Amino acid sequence: MWGSDVIMDYGFMAEYALMYVKAAELTIKISAYGIIGAFAVGLICCLIKELKIPVLYRIVQMYIELSRNTPLIIQLFFLYFGFPKMGIVLSSRSCGIIGLIFLGGSYMAEAFRTGIDSVPNVQRESAYSLGMTKRQTFLRIIIPQAVATSVPVFCANVIFLIKETSVFSAVALADLMYVTKDLIGLYYKTDEALLMLVISYLIILLPISFISSWIERRVRYAGFGNTGSV
C-alpha cells in the first residue's frame, strides 16, 4: 500500500488518535440506532407484504424499490438539503440515522422475505389445522423460523450498513471519513490519516464479523434453521 520510501509520522497519528476514537463512537452510535430502526422497519414491511394489507402493500413495494435502487448519499442529500426547502430542518445526525433506517429497512425486509419463503407451506397448513389464526401462525410459527434461517443475511446487512456510514461526511457529520478528510486537507498527512481510518473500521467491524460467525454456527448447530416440522 505504501512505498518503501514512505516514512509514517507516528507522532502525528498518536496526537490525533483521540479524534478517531470520538468519531468511531459517533459512527457506532448512529449505526446502532440505524440498524435497530432498519430491523423494525424491515419487520413491519414484511408483515404488511405477508398479510397483503391493501394500499400499504403497494406503498411498501414502492418504498423497497426506491430504497434499494438509490445510493445512500443521494438519500442523505435529499434529507439534508431537500427537506429544508419544505420547511423541515434536520440535523446531520438525524439525517444519518434516518438515511440508514431508510436504506437498511428495505434490505432487512428482503431478508425477512427470504426467510419466510424458506418455510414450507406445510407449516402453515399444519398450524391452521390446529386452529391457529393466520396472525398467530405468522407470528408464532413462521417468523421465528424465518429469523433463524435469515441470520447470515441479517449479519451481512449489519456489516453492510456500518460500512455505508462512510458517506455521512457528505452531510457534515463528524464521522470517521469526515475526520480523515479534514486531517488530510489541513496537514496533508494522507498515508497516516488513511491508515488510522482503516484501523478504525477494522476495530469496529472485525468483532462484529466474529460475533456474527459465532451466532450463525450456534443457530446452525442448534437446528433452528430446520423447517421440516412445526
Bigger pLDDT: 129 vs 74: 74
pLDDT tens digit sequence for 83-99:
999 989 999 999 999 99
Nearest to 161 by CA among 46, 44, 30, 60: 30
Nearest to 227 by CA among 123, 157, 127, 132: 123
- As given in the structure block, the three cell numbers for residue 81 are 438539503
pLDDT tens digit sequence for 18-68:
999 999 999 999 999 999 999 999 989 988 887 788 889 999 999 999 999
pTM reported for the whole predicted model: 0.82
pLDDT at res. 195:
93
Nearest to 96 by CA among 26, 43, 41: 26
Residue 201 has pLDDT above 60, yes or no: yes
197 touches 177 (CB < 8 A)? yes
- Domains recognised in the chain with CATH numbers: 10-222 (1.10.3720.10)
Rounded to whole angstroms, the Cα distance separating 43 from 80 reads 26
pLDDT at res. 4:
45
- Of the chain, the percentage scoring pLDDT greater than 90 comes to 49
pLDDT tens digit sequence for 102-139:
999 999 998 888 888 888 888 778 888 888 887 788 77
R_g of the chain, CA atoms, integer Å: 22
101 CB-side CA count, 13 A: 18
The DSSP code sequence of 163-212 is HHGGGGGGGT--SHHHHHHHHHHHH--HHHHHHHHHHHHHHHHHHHHHHH
Rounded to whole angstroms, the Cα distance separating 222 from 20 reads 39
